[in-house]
Amino acid sequence: MQVEESPTHQLRQYTFARQRLGELLRAALQIFTQYQADEGVEQCRELLVKLAEDRFNLAVVGQFKRGKSSLMNAVIARELLPTGILPLTSVITSLCFGPQERVLLKRQGWTLTQEISITDLPGFVTEQGNPGNEKGILEARVEMPSAFLRRGLHFVDTPGIGSSRQENTATTYAFLPEADAVIFVTSVEAPFSEAEERFLQDIRQQAHKLFVVVNKVDLLAQNEGELALNYIRAGIGRILGTAQVRLYPLSARLGLEAKLRADEQGIQQSGLREFESDLAAFLAEGKSRVFLLAMADRALRLVGAPALDLEPTPLPETAANANGIPSLKRLREDFTALRSAIQSLDEAGPGQNENETDPSAIQTPLEQAIANSQAQPRAGGERPFLMTRTCPICAAQSQAVYDFFVHWQYAISKDEQARRAFRSAGGFCGVHTWQFQQIAAPQGISEGYAPLVEAAVAELRQQIGESPAVSAAKLGRLLPTGESCPACRVSRQSGADQIVRFLALVSTAEGAASYRNSLGLCLSHLQAALLAAPSKETADFLLREQANRLEELSEDMHSYLLKRAAIRRGLLNENEENAWRRALTQLSGERTAYTHPQKE
């Protein structure tokens, strides 16, 4: 079994903790909303907004012509940002995640953003295309589907300081307070100028985290490179007040070239891989970890003892809401457990710090939803049950599954235990997944299926290094079966109950008369009815009526074909027009009543 690399693993840990924090904040919001605690509602929403934004600005700064844009291109493995001999970057250019590549310009005095193509980017962000930022670009945001950018990271290219354009230096200085971390890029060409010294002193006052990259090391011989690095290290150490200065000597140009040809050894030799590894580790352990801890502390204060006295209604301390909303006490326990998990993000993987619940307990919401959906006699008595324009058993099953979906959609959007139960069940089978999609809102689907996706991720990663056959067998745990699918269970139980009810009805004279006016059973439910051991008289009645219905269907379908061929559609009656639909129901049952067969 392969062990995945630590930085990537740690990034996933942060994502898991952030998602869990969001779930608990939404639960707190439900409590405050239900009890009309306006102050709590407002504070919860503020925390959710802050968590949702999650923008982490990683700014690349330095003197002009040190290779800032080249370094960013190397990290994202794309020749995206303009590079060249003359000073290029003139505005703040931010790379962030997006499902499709596009560029959005935020312009001074404009209310809406302007979208341009990637190829037009140089005309707005370079000194040649936009000298002194005469076009008033506040930010050029480049969205792209890069895994490196996926977790809220904004990789920010800034204009170089010290060029003839004072506007560029001013733009960079103005952005520094918004930077969560800074990559300071210098090079071996003219190591550590006076302008860079002054700039680094200013960065020291602003940045929470500083990386120092020494670019273009490929331009010097090895002995010359060591002298240059020692000189830079001494200068930076003097400004930062420490002799322990970590430098990242690298060649962005060689690193990008190696990445483009998938040369791992070349990437290592360029120095880029070591820098990327430490950068990824920081993004998981450093600022993001502190951010989440602060959020967890604020949430704990919000659901703490003082919050219980919010007006107009005191909030319940221990009692869970009837709709599945947890108590404040339980919520504090969950926030406390999450805070402890965040503190040890580098020690455990996603899911290992979750509070485990007894399997019988987590089934309660699922069982409740199933119980609530059990078909009951509908208003209008038994006659409508037998006079449906479809198989009556299929109709009852469809209604039971629909009722279950309604209850379950509410449960998984409001109740964490319900989501855990859904994850334990493995979700719905393929057919019922798409039936559920037809009635569920995107929010409800996201609430219920996010845990299933996370479970799939964990299972897939566990199989890395296994043989294909073993992996294929174990991946079967991700696929729900007829036994595990909750909707299949509802459909089967409803079908069994309705067969008993149906046989009791058709054994009476009134019930038999009603059944003669119905479409009849589908063949599958006719078989189930016969297997339930009715009387010989009832069995013969069902077989005779079913044969009559199918014979009539055959006649209607042939009549439909004849009238269509004769171009006499106006002669078609309703039974002939929908005969094909009724035939499919008779032979295969209603689609909405589908149930995986149980294994014997």
Count of positions (residues) in the chain: 600
Please give the order of strands across the beta sheet that includes 114-116.
Answer: 114-116, 102-107, 137-144, 93-97, 153-157, 56-61, 181-187, 210-215, 247-249
Other C-beta atoms closer than 10 Å to the C-beta of 339 total: 18
Torsion of CA 560, 566, 568, 569, to 10 degrees: 40
pTM over 0.75: no
User: Burial letters for 429-453: b for 16+ Cβ neighbours within 10 Å, e otherwise?
Assistant: bebbbebbeeebeeebbebbbebbe
pLDDT confidence of 536, banded at 50, 70, 90?
Answer: very high
Flag the least confident range among 3-12, 510-519, 574-583. Answer: 3-12
CA angle 261, 251, 62 (to 5 degrees): 130
pLDDT tens readout for residues 273-305:
999 999 888 876 676 776 787 778 878 888 874
How many CA atoms within 13 Å lie on the side-chain side of 212?
23
Torsion of CA 467, 470, 476, 478, to 10 degrees: -50
pLDDT confidence of 368, banded at 50, 70, 90?
Answer: low
- Predicted confidence at residue 9, as pLDDT, reads 60
Torsion of CA 475, 479, 480, 483, to 10 degrees: -60
CA distance 181 to 435: 47
pLDDT confidence of 325, banded at 50, 70, 90?
Answer: low
Q: Which has more pLDDT, 539 or 341?
A: 539
Tokens 């964490």 label which residue?
416
171 and 92 in contact (C-beta within 8 Å)? yes
Q: Name residues whose C-beta falls within 8 Å of residue 262's C-beta, 6 or more positions apart in sequence.
A: none
5: left (phi > 0), else alpha (psi -120 to 50), else beta? beta
pLDDT tens readout for residues 96-133:
888 889 999 999 889 888 999 888 988 888 878 888 78
Regarding beta strands 137-144 and 93-97, do their DSSP bridges make them parallel or antiparallel, or are they unpaired?
Answer: parallel
163: left (phi > 0), else alpha (psi -120 to 50), else beta? beta
pLDDT tens readout for residues 2-27:
434 444 566 667 777 888 888 888 88
Q: Name residues whose C-beta falls within 8 Å of residue 48's C-beta, 6 or more positions apart in sequence.
A: 22, 25, 26, 29
pLDDT confidence of 403, banded at 50, 70, 90?
Answer: confident
| Most confident segment among 34-38, 350-354, 492-496 | 492-496
378 and 386 in contact (C-beta within 8 Å)? no
Alpha carbon 307 to its chain centroid, in Å, reads: 31
Q: Which has more pLDDT, 387 or 27?
A: 27
CA distance 43 to 26: 12
CA angle 98, 103, 105 (to 5 degrees): 120
Alpha carbon 480 to its chain centroid, in Å, reads: 20
Q: Which H helix or E strand runs over 397? A: helix 392-414
- Predicted confidence at residue 319, as pLDDT, reads 46
- Predicted confidence at residue 142, as pLDDT, reads 92
Q: Which has more pLDDT, 335 or 311?
A: 335
| Residue 153, pLDDT above cutoff 70 | yes
Give percent of the chain above pLDDT 70. Answer: 82
Give percent of the chain above pLDDT 90. Answer: 13
Q: Give residue limits of the domains in the chain.
A: 1-53+285-346, 55-270, 362-600
Q: Give the pLDDT mean for 506-511.
A: 86
pLDDT confidence of 324, banded at 50, 70, 90?
Answer: low
Alpha carbon 223 to its chain centroid, in Å, reads: 50
Q: Which has more pLDDT, 146 or 75?
A: 75
May I ask the CATH architecture of the domain 55-270?
Answer: 3-Layer(aba) Sandwich (3.40)
DSSP string of 578-590? THHHHHHHHHH--
Average pLDDT, the chain: 78
594 and 491 in contact (C-beta within 8 Å)? yes
| Residue 505, pLDDT above cutoff 60 | yes
| Residue 243, pLDDT above cutoff 50 | yes
CA distance 460 to 476: 11
pLDDT confidence of 379, banded at 50, 70, 90?
Answer: very low
Q: Give the pLDDT mean for 345-360.
A: 37
CA distance 25 to 6: 29
Q: Which has more pLDDT, 115 or 588?
A: 115
| Residue 60, pLDDT above cutoff 70 | yes
- Predicted confidence at residue 370, as pLDDT, reads 56
CA distance 587 to 398: 17
- Predicted confidence at residue 283, as pLDDT, reads 79
pLDDT tens readout for residues 426-442:
888 888 888 888 888 78
Other C-beta atoms closer than 10 Å to the C-beta of 270 total: 25
